[in-house]
Chain A
Amino acid sequence: MNIHEYQAKELFKKYNVPTLRGHIAFTPDEAVKAAQELGGSIWVVKAQIHAGGRGLGGGVKLAKSTSEVREMAAQILGMQLVTHQTGPEGKLVQKVYIEEGADIKKEYYLGLLLDRALEMPIMMASTEGGMAIEEVAHNTPEKIIKVSIDPLTGFQSFHGRKLAFGLGLPVEEINTFIKFAAALYRVYMDHDAEMIEINPLVKTGDGKFLALDAKMGFDNNALYRQNQVNEMRDLSEEEPTEIEADKYGLSYIKLDGNVGCMVNGAGLAMGTMDTINYEGGKPANFLDVGGSASAETVAKGFDIILKDPNVKAIFVNIFGGIVRCDRVANGIIEATKITNVNVPVIVRLDGTNAIEAAEILKNAGIANIVAATDLADGARKAVAAAKGE
């Protein structure tokens, strides 16, 4: 789960990670009011969406008067902001963050994430602030300094020194930087964050560091104990079908092909997509129905898959282990009664009680249900059906 910049900065403030003052606004009027409250003579109007690259897409603008604040807020609010992370359709901007201006002397990058190979968090810093870190890593890897932080000991000053000297900071700024980095590590650990990215981290004219931007993602498995983070969840930033699927214990991701898939298990679900691709088709979605595959979940699965008008056929691929295939077969038949399935459904059931299941499906005599013998056969039949063959 991700949160907005302004929300991440709220968490930062609680841990004394320096940020600029700012207010959130939903209308141009509110934007002007926010600017007046902040005072000063320069403000930044920032689109709040869950994607990076907002500045390049025209979602971050500098205003030198309150009338400019109004003008820019009016421009940005309601726009479909397109960045390299949103896809071509972009994302609707529903709120802007009005922030005071800053005297920026230099921009850096600072990030924290889990290193899966080391099995501990790593903090990364770079002098190439404001650039996409993936590009820096690819083109000039020597410009990224990394320290791994053993969770059993936590963040130590030497971690901070290694980063600070690596960035070439003058000696009198080292301690300020270490304090900043140590506080950021506490934000990361205390909130079960998956990643924090500050790009750019800026040094001001008076030698202070502050988070000019802030991006945070969280471990979904830990949300049950992160009430504050949960309250920050913005459902309007997430795919409605994915949210609906989640309510029913289904894991769904929409793709751009025309062969719908319903599978038990995440690995087999990906494997099924790959098989469809291998057989010359294109998968319309990823859908893991989980362990139970009951009539209700299967029916809900059909509903969600068929919300996508591109779907021309559905491949149901279930490998029954603890779930018995005969139950799944009955579930599929029940599901076709609950919901209207108007495309061919290719069904492959293997594993526990597969023979009984095949019999049940045959006897049901439903015209658009086609039985498949194995994974390859099912994928082939589904691809052919989607092509209208």
Chain B
Amino acid sequence: MSILVNKDTKVIVQGFTGKEGTFHAEQCMAYGTKIVGGVTPGKGGQEHLGQPVFNTVAEAVASTGATVSMIFVPPAFVSDAVMEAADAGIALAVIITEGAPVKDMMFAKAYAVKKDMMTIGPNCPGIITAEECKIGIMPGFIFKKGNIGLISKSGTLTYESANQVVKEGFGITTAVGIGGDPIIGLSYKQLLPMFEADPETHAIVMIGEIGGDLEIQAAAYIKEHITKPVVAFIAGQTAPAGKRMGHAGAIISGGAGTAAEKMAALEAAGVKVVVSPADIGKALAEVMKK
């Protein structure tokens, strides 16, 4: 078991024939992901990486039965691509693109919700079910199969955490990079119950950062509904207020969104919170012993 995606998931790529789309689609296919086609308007009818190219997402869905779309289109066209996927009946869009305007994502997300389409990202590494299906840009070899679910706002911290989890002798069920933008798709609150319901997942690692209050919402949810052990790290304890730390959403504004308040809320919810990200693996080993 796993959450959201597995070895049978059929995936199309929007922005299939572009440089990024091509490189990462190839890597995903090599990992075992069922990439069944792609969309590049104007290139319909061609073949790319041995798979059919379509002009529209609707055609791609009708012809391939794909349920997931991996989106690599440039920032200015992301909202259009997301809405097209939603309109075509895609169940989950994984938006890798970095730099999408916030206003565009606000409209795209509202439309996706209306059309019952889940989204992950933007500006994220994607989602991976270990040794089955990789939809994104993460280095697949780090994610050995196991019993730990992983949710993270940051790409490289996802890799760092997964690496520590594996070094401690555990492995990953599914890892989801949710992205660090102000408006994102699936977040902790939606993903935690999926991991709670997944019998193969025995514990959850969650990586947050300064800015917004998604981690506070997660803490409230964990307190009420999550029975599995959770280990958390919040990046940005040493970040100054008012400065944007790389991610568009990572900013402490008006004294809110600090690491300290998020860590306190998670601790109060019974989460094992580590101060140093170097201790994620060790903390996980501790909670798994209990």
Contacts and interface: CB of A to CB of B under 8 A. Distances in A.
A150 B215 CA distance: 24
B255 A270 contact: no
Q: Which of B152, B210, B249, B276 has the most CB atoms of chain A within a 10 A radius of its CB?
A: B276
Interface of A: 85, 114, 116-117, 119-120, 133-134, 137-138, 150-152, 189, 192, 194, 219-222, 224-225, 251, 253, 255, 263-271, 273-279, 282-283, 286, 288, 319-322, 350-352, 374-376, 379
B240 A255 contact: yes
Interface stretch (B3-11, B34-42, B100-108, B264-272): B100-108
A89 to B, nearest CB: 14
15 contacts: A116-B182, A117-B212, A117-B213, A133-B254, A137-B254, A192-B102, A264-B156, A265-B154, A270-B239, A271-B157, A273-B239, A286-B246, A350-B160, A374-B278, A379-B276
Interface residues of B, number: 61
A274 B163 contact: no
A29 B165 CA distance: 67
Given A268-B157, A268-B277, 19 more contacts: A117-B217, A119-B110, A119-B183, A192-B101, A219-B103, A224-B76, A266-B250, A267-B152, A269-B246, A271-B160, A273-B238, A274-B238, A274-B276, A286-B239, A321-B139, A321-B142, A350-B160, A352-B141, A376-B276
Contacts of A375: 160, 276-278
Q: Which of A116, A267, A350 has the most CB atoms of chain B within a 10 A radius of its CB?
A: A267
Interface secondary structure of A, over-half rule: mixed
Given A222-B101, A350-B163, A270 B245 contact: yes
Interface in B206-261: 207, 209-210, 212-214, 217, 233, 235-240, 242-243, 245-250, 254-255, 259
Contacts of B239: 270, 273, 286
B159 A194 contact: no
Nearest to B99: A221
Contacts, number: 175
B63 to A, nearest CB: 30
A105 to B, nearest CB: 29
Contacts of B125: 321
Nearest to B207: A267
A151 B278 contact: no
